[in-house]
Amino acid sequence: MTRSAGWFGETGKVGFYHRNKLFGEGFDDEIFDGRPVIGIANSWSQLAPCNVHLRRVAEAVHDGILAAGGVPLEFNTMSLGETLMRPTAMLFRNLMAMEVEETLRANPLDGVVLLSSCDKTTPAMVMGAASADLPAVLVTGGPSLPGRFQGRPMASGTDVWRISEEVRAGRLPESEFRYAERCNSRGNGHCNTMGTASTMASITEAMGLQLPTSASALALDAERFRIATRAGARAVELARAGIPMSTFLTRESFENAVRVNAALGGSTNAVVHLLAMAGRAEVPLSLEDIDRLSRDVPLLADLLPSGRFLMPEFHEAGGVPALVAELGALLHQDLPTVSGMTLREVGAAARRERDDVIRPLADPVQPAGSALAVLRGSLAPDGAVIKQSAASPGLLKHRGRALVFDSIEEYTDRIDDPDIEVDAETVLVLRNSGPRGYPGMPEVGNLALPKRLLQRGITDMVRISDARMSGTSYGTVVLHVAPEAAVGGPLALVRDGDEIELDVPGRRLDLLVGTEELQRRRQEWVPSAPLETRGWTRLYVEHVLQADRGADLDFLVGRSGSAVGRRST
Ligand code: FES
């Protein structure tokens, strides 16, 4: 018996209520004859521009479900537009995940196709669906076609950081910066660099949650719609076979995700999302696992922000299946995927066209050990993260004096003050920007360099914070410091002029201040009052976990299951 029969197979008044309004929608008896009912969880929204084309993608999913003998029921989910939401889309990732979970549990669905695109929408869909644990297929929105600016392709995000620093240094007029806005992309889709959206799409494909090449096919390419149609059909088959999402969310598939992320030079945000997804799936995964599993993987994908190319070239090179084939024994190859093939079979079927974009293991972009590193030390007892491939090699071992900012607003106000004491050796410290402190852990960790240093040709400095940074960004930026300052982590005790030592090869981040002095400062420390005291933000601040636990809410970790509950009609 299907799960949906728990609703539609009812007799009497209860059955009447469950069925009659669907007749009103135009469905006929076949929806009630036991065929799989497949939800299409659509995060389409004009407030999330990277997801806006999912309305069209959903039509293709509908076709696939119908062709395979299922019944499609589409519904909207919350959506999270990275570029518009304030204070940060990350504040709402867990809310969207909770909404997805509850919608799946509360309705007569036998399976679901999850449609996501912009950064947070993919982990939110996976987290919610993992907790509900129905049969599920994920379809991400695909990257946008790059626009052109000053004679070359414009890389989403990465070029914005670069060009804005050119403006700050006085080398590019503001009018050109404004003109670049319309060159950023040539249509729908998510950022076309290996930013967070491309990273989350790629690693979920490698985990087996998406069909082959789903992560890299361009948003409006016909291939995206073929993939969406097949995804609809596969969701029906998974529902018929009773194969839940947890089949694909295993310790081995998370290990693969970490290794694929390292080979891609993927976003630091993947760390916090993977930890949260693993928590939902009840799979043990720690920061130490992520550091250890990343160490022996070379950077193979020559993609911005760590390399040269964009997502269209990655797709041309065979996308995730080609990368999986190249990584070979570094991955668990015999894992199932929603396609019905094992990962090994997916890799074997890959078209591998450009080894300048996905490089051979023997000739990588950067050698093993250049991926994400997890640091610990007196400044980050519970961990911090740095993306080595996007950092300056000369700064990976560095000792400098701290210049501390209590908020991003204070940073913006003061950093270009001509009297501020800063030089290329200074370590810029930003605090109160973690999950609870901001709240929502915004992408502000890649602090813009002081204008005065930019004008002297300085292009990188060590920056440390409890914030995140955009996956499209770069620099020697230490992020996700835990515990964050707002809960009394050592970051709260740093003062201007303190010495900080960064040692990435040794995986250390230390505040060189004596224990007694730190104890004295701790006694003086006063936690700041929360900025918001109502609604979702209040719930979030009261329950959010630290970055090393994925910044999920404490009461949402784990699976709820999709059992049919009590009925009110
Ligand atoms: Fe949506 Fe970059 S802004 S993916």
**261-293: pLDDT as tens digits:** 999 999 999 999 999 999 999 999 999 999 999
User: CA–CA distance from 511 to each of 61, 108, 373, 484, 498 (Å)?
Assistant: 53, 55, 18, 15, 7
Measured between alpha carbons, how far is 186 from 66 in angstroms, rounded to an integer? 32
Atom of ligand 1 minimally distant from the CA of 197: 4
pLDDT recorded at residue 532: 73
In the chain, the percentage of residues whose pLDDT exceeds 90 is 88
Query: How far is ligand 1, taken at its centre, from the CA of residue 77, in Å?
Result: 18
Q: Residue 290, SS3? A: helix
Q: Ligand 1 in contact with 194 (CB < 6 A)? A: no
Closest to 226 in 3D by CA, of 238, 236, 213, 235: 213
pLDDT recorded at residue 564: 66
User: CA–CA distance from 72 to each of 36, 368, 379 (Å)?
Assistant: 9, 45, 51
Measured between alpha carbons, how far is 536 from 527 in angstroms, rounded to an integer? 21
pLDDT recorded at residue 456: 92
Phi, psi of 164 (to 5 degrees): -65, -35
pLDDT recorded at residue 183: 86
Mean of the per-residue pLDDT values of the chain: 95
Measured between alpha carbons, how far is 35 from 197 in angstroms, rounded to an integer? 34
Q: Ligand 1 in contact with 190 (CB < 6 A)? A: yes
pLDDT recorded at residue 533: 79
Pairing of strands 148-149, 508-511: unpaired
Tokens of 159: 């070029």
Q: Residue 334, SS3? A: coil
Q: Ligand 1 in contact with 119 (CB < 6 A)? A: yes
**Residue 444 neighbours by CB distance under 10 Å:** 22
Measured between alpha carbons, how far is 492 from 484 in angstroms, rounded to an integer? 8
Q: Do residues 185 and 146 make contact, with C-beta atoms less than 8 angstroms apart?
A: yes
Phi, psi of 544 (to 5 degrees): -70, 140
Closest to 261 in 3D by CA, of 424, 140, 371: 371
Residue identifier of the C-alpha nearest atom 1 of ligand 1 = 118
Measured between alpha carbons, how far is 131 from 279 in angstroms, rounded to an integer? 9
Q: Do residues 460 and 477 make contact, with C-beta atoms less than 8 angstroms apart?
A: no
Residue identifier of the C-alpha nearest atom 3 of ligand 1 = 82
Q: What is the DSSP string of 455-506?
A: HTT-----EEESSB--TT--SSEEE--SS-GGGT-GGGG--TT-EEEEETTT
| Identity of residue 318 | G
In tens digits, what is the pLDDT along the chain, a chain of 569 residues?
899 999 999 999 999 999 999 999 999 998 899 999 999 999 999 999 999 999 999 999 999 999 999 999 999 999 999 999 999 999 999 999 999 999 999 999 999 999 999 999 999 999 999 999 999 999 999 999 999 999 999 988 888 888 998 998 899 999 999 999 988 888 999 999 999 999 999 999 999 999 999 999 999 999 999 999 999 999 999 999 999 999 999 999 999 999 999 999 999 999 999 999 999 999 999 999 999 999 999 999 999 988 999 999 999 999 999 999 999 999 999 999 999 999 999 999 999 989 999 999 999 999 998 889 999 999 999 999 999 988 999 999 999 999 999 999 999 999 999 889 999 999 999 999 999 999 999 999 999 999 999 989 999 999 999 999 988 888 999 999 999 999 999 999 999 999 999 999 999 999 999 999 999 999 999 988 777 779 999 999 999 999 999 999 999 999 998 776 667 65
pLDDT recorded at residue 531: 72
pLDDT recorded at residue 568: 65
Mutate to test the pocket of ligand 1, among 82, 90, 116, 140 (most ligand atoms within 8 A of CB): 82
Q: Ligand 1 in contact with 302 (CB < 6 A)? A: no
Q: Do residues 387 and 266 make contact, with C-beta atoms less than 8 angstroms apart?
A: no
Atom of ligand 1 minimally distant from the CA of 48: 1
pLDDT recorded at residue 71: 97
Q: Ligand 1 in contact with 195 (CB < 6 A)? A: yes
